[in-house]
Amino acid sequence: MVSRVIPVEPFDLVIFGGTGDLARRKILPGLYRRFLAGQMPAEARIIGAARSEMSDDDYRASIRAAIGEFVAKPKQDAATIAAFLERLRYVAIDATGDAGWDRLQEITRKDVIQAFYFSVAPTLFGPLAERLHQKGIACETCRIVVEKPFGRDLASARALNATLAEHFHERQIYRIDHYLGKETVQNLMAVRFGNILFEPLWNAQYVDHIQITVAETVGVGGRGAYYDKAGAMRDMVQNHLMQLLCLIAMEPPARFDPDAVRDEKVKVIRALDPVAPEEIVRGQYQANGREPGYREDAENPESLTESFVALRLHVSNWRWKGTPFYLRTGKKLKARTSEIAVVFKDPPHSIFGPQENRRGNVLAIKLQPNEGMTLRVTIKEPGPGGMRLVEVPLDMSFAEALGPNGTDIPDAYERLVMDVIRGNQTLFMRGDEVEAAWAWADPVIAGWEERGDRPFPYDPGSSGPEEAQILMHRDGRRWREIRE
Ligand code: NAP
C-alpha cells in the first residue's frame, strides 16, 4: 500500500517560542518529517521567534541538534536535513515589548499562507495576538495556533477567547489539543461512522459502560511549579479526556467538516450531569523509600493537588442515559498507556447455560504506545469436552494490518501543523467547546476545594489509589488492567 502525500501550499510559519522545549522536541522534528515525506513545498519557510539574540545560522545549528535528538535515526538523512534547515529563519522578538516586530513584519511574506504558532507561556497568548494585529502583521487569512492550557477556569478561558476575538475571527484560531491529532482518535471516527457494524450497538441499550484511561509512568518532574496549580483535572481531564469522551459519545455529524463535528462534540459536554462527590476519586503519589512522592517533586510539602483522578460521568441524552463513562488519569502509574474501552452488555440469554468467568465483548481502542484496536469476541474453546466458551481478541493493530504504512504513523503535532496550513479546523477545539468543558469542570473542582478534600495516597508504580477500584466495584464493574 503506497501512502499519498499531497504537498501543502507555500507558507510562512512563525513559531513564537521557537527555542523552547515543545518547539525543539515536537514541532520542528515534526515539520522535518513532513519535509522528508515531501509534503512541504520548496517555498515554505519556518521562522523561529524568541527573545534570545541569535543569528539564522545559530538557530539552524540548534534545530539540527534537536533533529539529531528527537527524530528516529533511520529518518535522519544529511542532505534532507540540510535542505530543511535552509527553510529556517530566526527573529529575536519580545512578545510583551516592541523589540523585533518591525523585523518580523519585514520578513513575513504577504502572498503565502501565514501561520503564527504560540508555543509560549499562556500569559503571552493575549499579548502576541494584540501585537500581531497592532503591528499590522496579521491579515484576514492568517492563522494563529494556541497551545494548552487554554485558561485555568471558565472565567480565564472566556477572557482569553475575548482577547483573541478582538484581533482574529474564530475561523483563524486553532486551539491545539494534541490528542485529537493522534491517528487512532481519527480512526475512532472512521470506525464509528465508516462502518454499519458498530453504530447500531453504540448506545445505552447495548453498551454496559465505557472506560477511558490515560496513564503515565512519569511524575511531575520539572513541571512541578505549573502542575501544582493545575492538577490532573485541569491538566488532563478538562481537555484531553473530555475530547476523547466527546468523540465516543457524539452523534454522527451530518458531514465531516469542522463545524459539523464540533457542534456534535459541544452537545455531549452540555449533556454531562453534574458529578457527585462520591463519583470522584483524587489521588496523590507518595514517597515509597525508593522514589520521591508528589509533594517532593512539586516542592510543596502541604500540596493537596491531585496527580491522579478517577470519575464516573453520565451523559444525559437519549443515546447514553444509563451507561456510565469512567475516566481516569494519573502520573507515576504502573505503565504508560492511553486507552478507550467500550464494554458491551452480555447477550440477553445464554443458550449455552451458565458459563464461568465470561467477560463479554469489548472494543479496546489504544492510543499509545502502540496505536490500534482490538475487539474481544466469544468463540468456542477448541477441542472436545462440550461447549466451553472463550474470549479471543480480533486484533486490528495498524502495524500488522497496514504494513509499513501502519507503523509510519505521523506524530500528532506534525499532522496538526499541516492541518493548520491546509486550513482544516476539524481537529482543533472551538472557543465554545473549551468554555463548555470549563463550565463542566469548574463546579467539580470548586466542590472539592470547598470541602477541603484530601487526595488519597497511592504508591508509585501502582494502578492508583484503592478507592478508584472501589468506585468501579460498587457498580459491579472493574477497571481494565493498566498495561502497555
Ligand atoms: P519553554 O521551554 O519554557 O519555552 C518557552 C519559549 O518562549 C522559549 O523559546 C522562550 O525563549 C520563549 N519566550 C519566553 N518569553 C518570551 C517573550 N516575552 N517573548 C517571546 N518569546 C518568549 O516552554 P515549552 O515547554 O516549549 O511550552 C510552550 C507552550 O507549549 C506552553 O504554553 C506550554 O504549556 C505548551 N505545552 C508544552 C508541552 C511540552 O511538552 N513542552 C506540552 C504541551 C503544551 P526566550 O526565553 O529566549 O524568549
**Ligand 1 mutation pick, 93, 119, 179, max ligand atoms within 8 A of CB:** 119
Q: Are residues 138 and 31 located together in one domain of the fold? A: yes
Q: Are residues 214 and 341 located together in one domain of the fold? A: yes
User: What average pLDDT does the structure give for the chain?
Assistant: 93
Task: Determine contact, residues 20/119, Cβ cutoff 8 Å.
Answer: yes
Residue 398 has pLDDT above 80, yes or no: no
Task: Please list every protein residue whose CB sits less than 6 Å from any atom of ligand 1.
Answer: 16-23, 50-52, 93-96, 119-122, 124, 147-148
Q: Are residues 100 and 184 located together in one domain of the fold? A: no
Q: Are residues 143 and 187 located together in one domain of the fold? A: no
Task: Determine contact, residues 145/385, Cβ cutoff 8 Å.
Answer: no
* Cell numbers linked to 43: 517555498
Q: Say what the pLDDT of residue 2 is.
A: 47
Out of 187-191, 235-239, 240-244, pick the least confident: 187-191
Q: Are residues 103 and 188 located together in one domain of the fold? A: no
pTM: 0.94
Q: Are residues 95 and 230 located together in one domain of the fold? A: no
Type of residue numbered 23: A
In a domain, 251, yes or no: yes
Helix (H, G, I), strand (E, B) or coil at 344: strand
What's the distance, CA 38 to chain centroid?
Answer: 26
| Residue 1 pLDDT class (50, 70, 90 cuts) | very low
Q: Say what the pLDDT of residue 89 is.
A: 98
Parent domain of 73: 11-147
State in Å: Cα 279 to ligand 1 middle.
Answer: 36
Q: Are residues 128 and 188 located together in one domain of the fold? A: no
349 is catalytic: no
For 405-430, what is the mean pLDDT? 87
Type of residue numbered 193: F
Out of 75-89, 142-156, 185-199, 391-405, pick the least confident: 391-405
Residue 377 has pLDDT above 90, yes or no: no
Total residue length of the chain: 484
Q: Are residues 274 and 407 located together in one domain of the fold? A: yes
In a domain, 130, yes or no: yes
Long-range contacts formed by 29-33: CB under 8 A, 24+ apart: 29/66, 29/67, 29/70, 29/71, 29/411, 30/410, 30/411, 30/413, 30/414, 30/417, 31/84, 31/414, 31/417, 32/67, 32/71, 32/80, 32/81, 32/84, 33/71, 33/75, 33/410, 33/411, 33/414
- Residue 50's DSSP bridge partners are 92
CATH at residue 119: 3.40.50.720
Q: Domain total for the chain?
A: 2
Residue 342 has pLDDT above 70, yes or no: yes
State in Å: Cα 21 to ligand 1 middle.
Answer: 7
**Ligand 1 mutation pick, 15, 22, 227, max ligand atoms within 8 A of CB:** 22
In a domain, 96, yes or no: yes
Q: Which residue has the cell 542532505?
A: 79
In a domain, 165, yes or no: no
CATH at residue 302: 3.30.360.10
In a domain, 204, yes or no: yes
Task: Determine contact, residues 37/424, Cβ cutoff 8 Å.
Answer: no
Q: What is the pLDDT of residues 317-332, one digit of tens each?
A: 999 999 999 999 999 9
Q: Are residues 187 and 142 located together in one domain of the fold? A: no
Q: Are residues 142 and 185 located together in one domain of the fold? A: no
Q: Are residues 207 and 350 located together in one domain of the fold? A: yes
Q: What is the pLDDT of residues 177-230, one digit of tens each?
A: 999 998 888 888 998 999 999 999 999 999 999 999 999 999 998 888 899 999
